[in-house]
Each structure stands twice: as C-alpha cells, then as structure tokens.
Amino acid sequence: MTTIRQNLQTLQNELNGSKARLVAVSKYHTADAINEAYACGQRIFGESHVQELCAKQLALPADIQWHFIGHLQTNKVKYIASFISLIHSVDTLKLLKEIDRQAEKASRTIDCLLQIHIAEEETKFGFTPLDVTQMLDEGQWRELKHTRIVGLMCIATNTDDSSRIQKEFRTVHQLFETLKQKYFEGTNQFCELSMGMSDDYPIALGEGSTLIRIGSRIFGERIYDNHC
C-alpha cells in the first residue's frame, strides 16, 4: 500500500460518522500524486495558485472537483470560472462581483465561501467579523445571480496553543450561525464551514467543520513552498 493511500484511509476513518468532507490540498504536488489519491476514490482537491490549478485541471480526470483555497486576484478569476467547484477564499465584495461576472460568462453558478480573518498574523486576507456583517447588511451581494455564498472559511493561528485554536474556530462557528440566521434563513444554501488543516483538523472537527483542507498529512511535505 502506498503512503498516500494509507494517509487517506486514516483520514477517512477519522471522518467516519462525521458530516465533514475532505479536501485534499494538492498544491505543489505532482499530477502523479493526485492520480494516486484519485485512484483511492478522492475527488475533491484544493489548489491555491491559478496557473498551477489550470495546468492540473487540463491534465487530470474531468470528474475531479477543484476547490480554490488561496488568495485569488480578481484579474485571474476568468481562468478558473469555467470549472471551479468551490472558491473558499472570497475576501472582498469586489472579488465576489468579478466571480459573478465570470460565472455568468461561463453560464454557470459558482459556490463561494467568505474567508474570515481570525488568526493573529497567519494571513492578511479575509473579512473581519465586523466587515463581513457590514458587507452582508449592505445587500449588493443579493443582486449577484451567478454566485452563491454557501458558508465561511478560516485559517487558525499557527500555534501549539490548542485552546487558542479552538477559541478561533468556535468564534467563526458562532459567526456562521449568526449570519445563517440573519441572512440565509429559510434556505439551506449557507451550510459549509471550511476549517482545519493538517495540524489542527481534529480541533476543527470538534468545532463543527464541514470541510477540512489537508495537504501534508496526505501528500507529505511540499517540495517547494515559498512562492506564495
């Protein structure tokens, strides 16, 4: 049995009985590695660079559901709009509008998560809880007919302090419940909470994550990881 297969099986066993789904984060990993995971039944893969994603999408099986998890520049949305199945990292209304515009051109509706900035300094991207509430209050997003906001995503602080990580996930889950009630009542559209990576996914699952984004725990260390 290959390591990728073993790693996937371990994760799938841990997810057994939970509603959460696994996003296999394949950024910086080869098409061969992805094919190996695909052969084990994995269908959702996460990438964070547009160029790399487009090359892989062309080369790999058509029934893969590609998720975009990195910072997305508005001028690059057009390259992924025809096939992307979920964008985890919407961090401005401007980006959401551009996704909507490109989705319309591609005659599709694109599902999106709003990224919440919760960690101390892991990333500068994401809405603060206040910003996201203001954006939803203001209401322009309701006019966008080719995007659907289906939930929230966050990246916790990279720390050994698990109580702090737990607090961050809990805060985002509470925000999720509040927004769901206030803006999405009577629909089941707002249902995804993307939280948890290789080092903190057990905590995220305990705090209600529905999508865990796991890279190194499946594929091993990334070959190169500094061109973000």
> Using CB under 6 A as the criterion, which residues of the chain lie in contact with ligand PLP when the complex forms?
25, 27, 48, 69-70, 155, 197-199, 213-217
Residue 11, C-beta contacts closer than 8 angstroms, at least 6 positions apart: 22, 214, 217, 218
Q: Which is nearer to ligand PLP, 88 or 144 (CB)?
A: 88
Cβ(36)–Cβ(5) below 8 Å: yes
Minimum distance of ligand PLP from residue 193's CB (angstroms): 14
C-alpha distances in Å from residue 99, one per residue of 26, 84, 105, 124 = 23, 11, 10, 21
Burial class (CB in 10 A: 0-12, 13-18, 19+), 221: exposed
Minimum distance of ligand PLP from residue 190's CB (angstroms): 20
Minimum distance of ligand PLP from residue 143's CB (angstroms): 28
Six-digit token string for 172: 């985002």
What is the b/e burial string over 177-202, where b = at least 16 CB atoms within 10 angstroms of the residue's CB? eebbeebbeeeeebebbbbbbbbbbe
Minimum distance of ligand PLP from residue 141's CB (angstroms): 22
126 conformational bin, left if phi > 0, alpha if psi -120 to 50, beta if neither? left
Minimum distance of ligand PLP from residue 200's CB (angstroms): 9
Q: Which is nearer to ligand PLP, 69 or 96 (CB)?
A: 69
Q: Which is nearer to ligand PLP, 179 or 204 (CB)?
A: 204
Residue nearest to ligand PLP (CB): 215
Q: Which is nearer to ligand PLP, 14 or 104 (CB)?
A: 14
Minimum distance of ligand PLP from residue 119's CB (angstroms): 11
End-to-end Cα distance, the chain: 33
CA distance 4 to 189: 33
CA distance 118 to 94: 21
Q: Which is nearer to ligand PLP, 70 or 208 (CB)?
A: 70
Q: Which is nearer to ligand PLP, 25 or 99 (CB)?
A: 25
